[in-house]
């Protein structure tokens, strides 16, 4: 999901930024260069194997295979040569016996080249559907290539994994994300502060799609992207709130600290998971040591929430 971020003219002006700045070619992608160079070599030598892309959301898996498809096929050929499906829409065996089998079994004109089936969120498919897909892949390899995309490799049966060349798309580093975000900020004239950019990168956890969504929603909601507006827009606890929680835990008696934490949680609508995550990060980075009393308070907070 990382690209040069060329804004598209016309109707695309109203698109969500994740689609407006989706890369159109392999050259637009700037992450996972080792994977891109390998795939580019497959394409140039006309030896594209079946592919299995896996890794966290927003790391460029779908964008990469769509860019490959656009390089392989001209605009007029794209619709007839590429079948793009999302397995989460129909995860049963019928999707394999129906659209996929029908598409794969039809030969290309003059038997030249191959068709491409893109199966997104393949880890949502049932085991029966995956076993049926294995047979389809074996039978129609001569004229069809398959690309499966998933978040969890362990949910893909070994028989399918062994038939594909696997590529892992890891979370994007801040060095990859910041230049692309700055490019979008410049094109969209976003008012953003340095701590706002840092907050975007921190909360997105290597997910470029999430970073762009947070950037757009914060800009539209507040007109200025700062650390406070980013955390408020996403519902994450502010650093000052976490600092207060730790201060109460370490310096007040049990009843008072527990009451104040619960009041803050209710007042700001904070999720327990987010509070615990931010407390952990805050303690880890600040090298604080929670005493037995604070640990006991935190445990009671978790139990009673």
pLDDT at 9: 44
Helix (H, G, I), strand (E, B) or coil at 253: coil
Bridge partners (DSSP) listed for residue 233: none
The CATH classification number of 174-234 equals: 1.10.8.60
Q: Which CATH architecture has domain 32-168?
A: 3-Layer(aba) Sandwich (3.40)
Full DSSP string of 121-182: TGGGS-HHHHHHHHHHHHHTTTTEEEEEEES-GGGS-HHHHTTSEEEE-PPPPHHHHHHHHH
For helices 254-268 and 292-304, give the axis angle rounded to 10 degrees: 50
Q: What is the value of pTM for the model shown?
A: 0.79
- Domain range annotation of the chain: 32-168, 174-234, 239-304
d(CA 234, CA 167): 31
Strands 144-150 and 51-54: parallel
From first to last of the 305 residues of the chain, give the pLDDT tens digit.
Answer: 544 445 544 445 678 899 888 888 888 887 788 899 999 899 888 888 999 999 999 898 999 999 888 888 877 788 888 888 886 676 778 778 888 888 888 876 655 678 899 999 998 888 888 998 898 898 888 889 999 999 999 999 999 999 999 999 999 988 889 999 999 999 999 999 999 999 999 889 899 999 999 999 999 999 899 999 999 898 888 888 888 888 888 788 888 888 888 888 888 888 888 888 788 777 766 545 455 545 555 555 555 55
pLDDT at 230: 93
Backbone angles phi, psi at 259, to 5 degrees: -65, -45
Q: Which residue has 């009671």 as its token pair?
A: 300
């Amino acid at each position: 999901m990382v690209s040069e971020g060329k804004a598209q003219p016309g109707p695309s002006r109203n698109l969500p930024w994740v689609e407006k700045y989706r890369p159109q070619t392999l050259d637009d992608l700037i992450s996972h260069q080792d994977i891109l160079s390998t795939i580019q070599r497959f394409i140039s030598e006309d030896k594209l194997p079946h592919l299995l892309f896996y890794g966290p959301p927003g790391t460029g898996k779908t964008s990469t295979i769509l860019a490959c498809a656009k390089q392989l096929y001209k605009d007029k050929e794209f619709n007839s040569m590429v079948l793009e499906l999302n397995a989460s829409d129909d995860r049963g065996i019928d999707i394999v016996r129906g659209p996929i089998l029908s598409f794969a079994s039809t030969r290309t004109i003059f038997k030249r080249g191959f068709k491409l089936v893109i199966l997104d969120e393949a880890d949502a498919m049932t085991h029966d559907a995956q076993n049926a897909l294995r047979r389809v892949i074996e039978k129609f390899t001569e004229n069809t290539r398959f690309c499966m995309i998933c978040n969890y490799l362990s949910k893909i049966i070994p028989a399918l994994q062994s038939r594909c060349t696997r590529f892992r798309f890891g979370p994007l580093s801040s060095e990859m994300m910041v230049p692309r975000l700055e490019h979008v900020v410049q094109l969209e004239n976003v008012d953003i502060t340095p701590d706002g950019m840092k907050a975007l990168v921190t909360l997105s956890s290597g997910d470029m799609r999430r970073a762009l969504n947070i950037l757009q929603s914060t800009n539209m909601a507040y007109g200025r992207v700062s650390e406070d507006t980013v955390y408020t827009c996403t519902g994450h606890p502010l650093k000052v709130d976490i600092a207060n929680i730790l201060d109460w835990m370490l310096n007040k008696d049990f009843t008072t600290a527990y009451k104040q934490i619960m009041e803050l949680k209710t007042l700001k609508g904070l999720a327990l998971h987010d509070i615990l995550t931010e407390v952990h990060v805050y303690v880890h980075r600040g090298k604080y040591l929670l005493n037995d009393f604070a640990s006991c308070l935190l445990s009671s907070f978790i139990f009673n929430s």
